[in-house]
Chain A
């Protein structure tokens, strides 16, 4: 089967192509799509090659937020000064495949591929990232934490293109935590993963918290119920244990090629304990 490619040279051209009604799959770093293509699991489609769109490339700090253009790669962040403000992005990027994947794979592609095992999405979600979606009709901005609705189902119409990600600059005092549990450190896909951020008062009262998990639900999961259990409370051993139990009601892990439900449940609670014992 032959797959056609449309290569636009301006954003307008790209949006026109997406609005034409033809099924076009945006192609950025291709690190996921080439695997599906080779495996023969892709439905017939054409690709919209984004690599010539200069508009999607810049990574900028503007007015209290950082904007990652949709073509920003993992490596771009690892070598950029923004890793100082968003250390977890650099930690996450480091564990996406290995260097040769990181030089091609993009953060926006990680979002659009919508794998429950995505490594970049949990970190972005923990930083309250928002997504810019552009079409001929409108520009809208959606919260990443509300983007997914089911397995590979997301709040993006076929005529819309992810053009950028917005990350509000973290206030001082937040502590980041990122732990990916895989078969090996690099070039592995997670069995479970926690991207956490916490803002503590001097007496260890939780002023605010984010807990985002991969590989334990049909999509990247922000555990809002478990967050609510600890928010505003002092982090005593009892509260930590309560959170470690509460997460069990929020996750829906499965048995698959990489792990089992039992293992994922047990280790996910352990990650909660490890994070909150910081």
Chain B
């Protein structure tokens, strides 16, 4: 076991964990932040997407030994002081969520794209790492278009 200190959604945390424990499991099991989802567990689906030091990462592929001193944002931290983020509002208004498993990752990737429009050619590329098995993507893309307009 090792002790690791980091912040999640602006709050300091210290956890004791096996060094190769997935950040995904630390967030869900140790910190009860169940907004982060496990889809495939092998870096293919994007359901476990979080933001680490400003960059999108897949929390199923991040061992907690590499999280020391990092700043993590999960879907729970996106709404600032009780107000939904523009992307969250747009998903709500445009039917961008169905079963909800992919939604936290989709929203974080979409919010990243709105902040970093130069890092992907279009919405399809920005969300290429996030898979949805319900909606067929159309309403997700419409939500993001609405959020960016």
| Residues in A lying within 8 Å of B, measured CB to CB | 2-5, 7, 27, 30-31, 34-35, 37-39, 47, 49, 51, 75, 78-79, 94, 97-101, 103-104, 185-187
Contact = CB atoms under 8 A, between A and B. Distances in A.
B109 A2 contact: no
B62 A34 contact: yes
B55 A51 contact: no
B65 A101 contact: no
Interface string B4-42: 000000000000001110100000000000000000011
A30 B62 contact: yes
Judged by DSSP, the binding face of B is mixed
Given A5-B20, A104-B62, 17 more contacts: A2-B18, A4-B19, A31-B43, A34-B20, A34-B60, A34-B61, A34-B62, A38-B41, A47-B19, A49-B63, A78-B119, A99-B109, A99-B120, A100-B57, A101-B61, A104-B61, A187-B129
Nearest to B66: A51
Given A30-B66, A47-B20, A103-B55, A98 B46 contact: yes
Nearest to A98: B129
Tier of interface size on chain B: 20 to 34
A30 B61 contact: yes
B42 A35 contact: yes
A184 B15 CA distance: 39
Interface string B106-134: 00010010000001100001101111000
B62 A99 contact: no
B20 A75 contact: no
Nearest to B130: A98
Nearest to A75: B55
Contacts of B58: 31, 100-101, 104
